[in-house]
Amino acid sequence: MAEEPVRFAIIGCAVIARKVSRAIELSPNSILYAIGSRSIDKSRKFVKDNGLSDAIKFYGSYEEVLDDASVDAVYMPLPTSLHVQWAILAAKKKKHLLLEKPTALNVAELDQILEACESNGVQFMDGSMWLHHPRSDKMKALLSDTTIWSDHFEPPEFYESNIRVRPDLDALGALGDVGWYCIGAILWAKNYELPKTVTALPSVTKNKDGVILACGSSFQWTETKQVATFYCSFLSNVSMDLAIYGTNGSIRLRDFIIPYSESSASFDFTTGAKFLDRHIGWNVKPANVEVASELPQEALMVQEFAKLVKKVKNSESRPERKWGDISRKNQIVLDAVKKSIDLGFKPVELC
């Protein structure tokens, strides 16, 4: 039996949908089957503007997409406030769900979405593309090594993660749009161990409507004395820095959310740095570690998602819960940052 590709529909013609529509076409185990928007003209225009196949169906409402029995999975880049409504309906209609981040306005909403996916047996994943780049695996392998984390030091580990970004991806506040990635990278580096305390930096910039334009936070893990900070802003030049500092090494990159180029990405790696005699220089300079990628990271994300969907379709396994768990922890921490800001930058205890 020939391998049949997973048939995707896109619900909502956001800017980011242009990137993901291409990723769905690039991924070898998926095809773009339908586009749904609030008007059929918008859907038609999206197909035309992006040079997509004439065979792609377009719909003038989200409901029609979800009622099309040929659609296996939906990619949903709707505004965050609409997620809970449409994601739950998609799950009820047995559509596997690739949901753009931030996943929801708060963890209570996300839990409703995850519960709908669970009870309807559909796969969930959020749209954090960078996690799927092989560079992330390479960095994680180095991080898991005692090359960076000394087993012998007291406190045994130490790291500081620092990220700033300013994409123009969404009309949402900087915390939801950009902070999502910052929080995700910190949790990723910590193997998803939630911090004990979340304390927003005592400075937040909002526009006249109260939308966060810039904010930051620090996280503390009490036992290991580890610390992470992030700052995210819509107001500075585009930056996507991630720096992780361990007892014996450090990793730094400047394009962690969107690599500078598609075919390969790199990071800097320093280990065992010392000063030369008389402190007039260093014994090492950062090494640049290059990691090739056969497909753009967004296509790798679609491929991974479609692989899981096929396993569910073929009754080989239940949906993989890992991705929902990751999204949920991201959302819990994001909620805590927002709460700390709302409380006047007071610490919020998590666990």
If you write DSSP's letter for every residue of 271-288 in order, what string do you get? Answer: ES--BPGGGSSBS--PEE
Q: Does 203 bind its own copies (CB under 8 A)?
A: yes
Q: Does 347 bind its own copies (CB under 8 A)?
A: yes
Enclosing H/E stretch for 30: strand 30-36
Question: Minimum distance from CB of 219 to its own copies (Å)?
Answer: 9
Q: Does 112 bind its own copies (CB under 8 A)?
A: no
Q: Does 101 bind its own copies (CB under 8 A)?
A: no
Q: How many residues bind its own copies (CB under 8 A)?
A: 70
Q: Does 250 bind its own copies (CB under 8 A)?
A: yes
Residue 11 and residue 86 in contact, taking contact as beta carbons nearer than 8 Å: yes
Q: Does 231 bind its own copies (CB under 8 A)?
A: yes
171 contacts: CB under 8 Å, gap ≥ 6:
79
Q: Does 281 bind its own copies (CB under 8 A)?
A: yes
Question: Minimum distance from CB of 126 to its own copies (Å)?
Answer: 17
Smaller CB distance to its own copies: residue 3 or 274? 274
Smaller CB distance to its own copies: residue 104 or 295? 295
Binding mask 146-185 for its own copies (x = CB under 8 A): --x----x-x--xxx-x-x--xxx----------------
272 contacts: CB under 8 Å, gap ≥ 6:
248, 249, 283, 284
Question: Minimum distance from CB of 73 to its own copies (Å)?
Answer: 21
Give the pairing type, strands 6-11 and 30-36: parallel
Closest alpha carbon to 185 in 219, 223, 154, 151: 219
DSSP bridge partners of 220: 197, 227
Q: Which of 31, 243, 289, 291 binds its own copies (CB under 8 A)?
A: 243
Q: Does 193 bind its own copies (CB under 8 A)?
A: no
**Which amino acid does the sequence have at 288?**
N
Residue 328 and residue 115 in contact, taking contact as beta carbons nearer than 8 Å: no
Smaller CB distance to its own copies: residue 86 or 245? 245
Number of neighbouring beta carbons within 10 Å of residue 253: 24
| Spatial separation of the C-alpha atoms in residues 78 and 100, rounded to whole Å | 7
The torsion angles phi and psi of 204, rounded to 5 degrees, stand at -140, 140
Q: Does 144 bind its own copies (CB under 8 A)?
A: no
Q: Does 218 bind its own copies (CB under 8 A)?
A: yes
Q: Does 289 bind its own copies (CB under 8 A)?
A: no
Asked if residue 102 has a cis previous peptide bond (ω within 30° of 0), the answer is: yes
Smaller CB distance to its own copies: residue 5 or 167? 167
Residue 246 and residue 157 in contact, taking contact as beta carbons nearer than 8 Å: yes
Q: Which of 63, 286, 289, 350 binds its own copies (CB under 8 A)?
A: 286
Question: Minimum distance from CB of 342 to its own copies (Å)?
Answer: 17
DSSP bridge partners of 241: 164
Smaller CB distance to its own copies: residue 26 or 89? 26
| Spatial separation of the C-alpha atoms in residues 171 and 12, rounded to whole Å | 14
Radius of gyration of the chain (CA): 21
First to last CA, the chain: 49
Q: Does 45 bind its own copies (CB under 8 A)?
A: no
Q: Does 127 bind its own copies (CB under 8 A)?
A: no
Question: Minimum distance from CB of 157 to its own copies (Å)?
Answer: 9
Q: Which residues bind its own copies (CB under 8 A)?
A: 15-16, 18-19, 22, 148, 153, 155, 158-160, 162, 164, 167-169, 197, 199, 201-203, 205, 214, 216, 218, 220, 225, 227, 229, 231, 233, 235-239, 241, 243, 245-250, 252, 254-255, 258-262, 268, 270-275, 278-282, 285-286, 296, 298, 345, 347
